[in-house]
Amino acid sequence: MKLLPKSAYHYNEYWKSIVKYNNWFIKLRFIAFVSLINFILAIKYFFRFELTDIQLYSFIIVTGFILAYNILFDRIKDQITNINSKITPIHFSLLQILLDLFSLNILVYFTGGIETPLFMFFIFHMIIGSLILPSSIMYFIAGTMIIFFSSFSLLEYFEIIPHQSVVGLYKYELYNDLNFVIGFLFSFSFVVFVSIFLTSKIVHDLYSRESQLKLALDDLHSAEESKQKYIIAVVHELKSPIAAMISNIELITGNYLGEVPDKIMDKALRAKERGIDAINNINSILHVSRFKLLNKIHKDEISLGKLFQKVINKYHDTASRKNIEIRIRNDDSIDKIIADEILLELAFSNIIGNSIKYTPENGNIEIEYERKNDYLFIAFSDDGIGIPKNELEKIFEEYFRASNAKKNKIEGTGTGLNIVKQIIDKHNGIIEVDSPSKLSSNNRPGVVFTVKLPIE
């Protein structure tokens, strides 16, 4: 694990990025193979540079070697994804970098050594390596590479080994100019080490920032968990007095205390009904809080017709006051689905409640649902104030409210649709929004929410 940067030690995302980089290396290497073939052909036939037989054969052998180990890497890459195995993705990255540098050293030597334009690929590997490996490892690799490169350059200068020049590349030979050799090696070393330093510094800062954001996110999750636990505790305590109130009212409605006038009986029945509604609302709040706390849902077979009728009945009085007509168009072939009834009721209630809230008087709301293959499609359309086109993609963000809703001073918090999306997502479904809807008219564009749910 010494190959792992300290700043990225605890991140699963780091390992995912390493796997992604490894796959990226392999794809780039195939491109490099094709580029090397084209480079050889361009040098020999287009630019008319002269290559000796040993240069040409060395090029072909190294290019074939690169292709061979890259094919091997491509075949085993999917097996090297486990961070607990002996060979981890980071070992795989190091192996690729070392083999690439070995191959590049040979190519550099046979294309002119210190005169070759291929030396820039050393810098490329140093930058990529610094994104993955600790800076200490990269400094060691860079130092070793510079020692080899400098040794070959000086051995060529002192004519201990032959210089493999590409005839026609330069008018004058530079490998035997000591001032050029020393100046080039110094500049090259400086650029390599500075590249590693800057890249490692940027990567370290990014991982440090990511660490801070992760801690902040963990704190938010902890705060949300505490909030949901508090809500569950408080709301649960509210059930007892309401349940006691309903029990006392039932003493009246059941005539256990004797006959009561019809006027009092009517009031008692209404109070009992409101008490039962309050208990149901409390149960819904508890259910949603447990959903947000545990991120679990309880699925049962439910009737869509009954569910929609229940939601519509809930908003009947509100819709009637605004003279809003709510219509249902359903597909007779589908009624039963497997889902969490309480959460779906909450989601659909939120959508329909918003439609009523944002639709002016004498409006229309239409609910359509049909089966398409193994999916249920539900469309909630209205002819309300609509949503601006440039704000549609933000509508499911927490606390976001459309500008026209705020302009019309319609009350809201911007949290409802975010919860709706969470509920639909948890059912492996999709929810989309568009405006205008098919019910649109002059100055009333309306909106349509489309829900796609799998039929289990």
- 287-306 per-position pLDDT tens digit: 677 676 667 778 889 998 89
Q: What is the DSSP letter of 42?
A: I
Kindly report, residue by residue over 354-411, the tens digit of the pLDDT.
899 889 999 999 999 998 888 899 999 999 999 999 989 888 887 788 887 777 666 6
Identify which has the larger pLDDT, 439 or 165: 439
How does residue 331 score in pLDDT terms, banded at 50, 70 and 90?
A: confident
pLDDT at 117: 79
Task: State yes or no: pLDDT of 414 exceeds 50.
Answer: no
Distance of alpha carbon 408 from alpha carbon 90, whole angstroms: 56
Task: State yes or no: pLDDT of 422 exceeds 80.
Answer: yes
Structure tokens given for 101: 């540098």
How does residue 151 score in pLDDT terms, banded at 50, 70 and 90?
A: very high
Terminus-to-terminus CA distance in the chain, angstroms?
45
Distance of alpha carbon 456 from alpha carbon 166, whole angstroms: 69
Q: What is the pTM of this model?
A: 0.57
Q: Is 134 left (phi over 0), alpha (psi -120 to 50) or beta?
A: beta
How does residue 169 score in pLDDT terms, banded at 50, 70 and 90?
A: low
Do residues 375 and 338 lie in contact, with contact meaning Cβ atoms separated by under 8 Å? no
Q: 418 CB contacts (<8 Å, ≥6 apart)?
A: 396, 397, 398, 399
Q: What percent of the chain has pLDDT over 90?
A: 27
Kindly report, residue by residue over 103-130, the tens digit of the pLDDT.
999 988 888 888 887 888 888 889 988 8
With CA atoms as reference, report the closest residue to 356 among 320, 404, 400, 392.
320
Q: What is the mean pLDDT of residues 46-66?
A: 84
Q: What is the mean pLDDT of residues 52-72?
A: 90
pLDDT at 416: 75
DSSP track, 104-124 = HHHHHHHTTGGG-GGGHHHHH
Q: Which of 97-111, 124-138, 220-234 has the lowest mean pLDDT?
A: 220-234
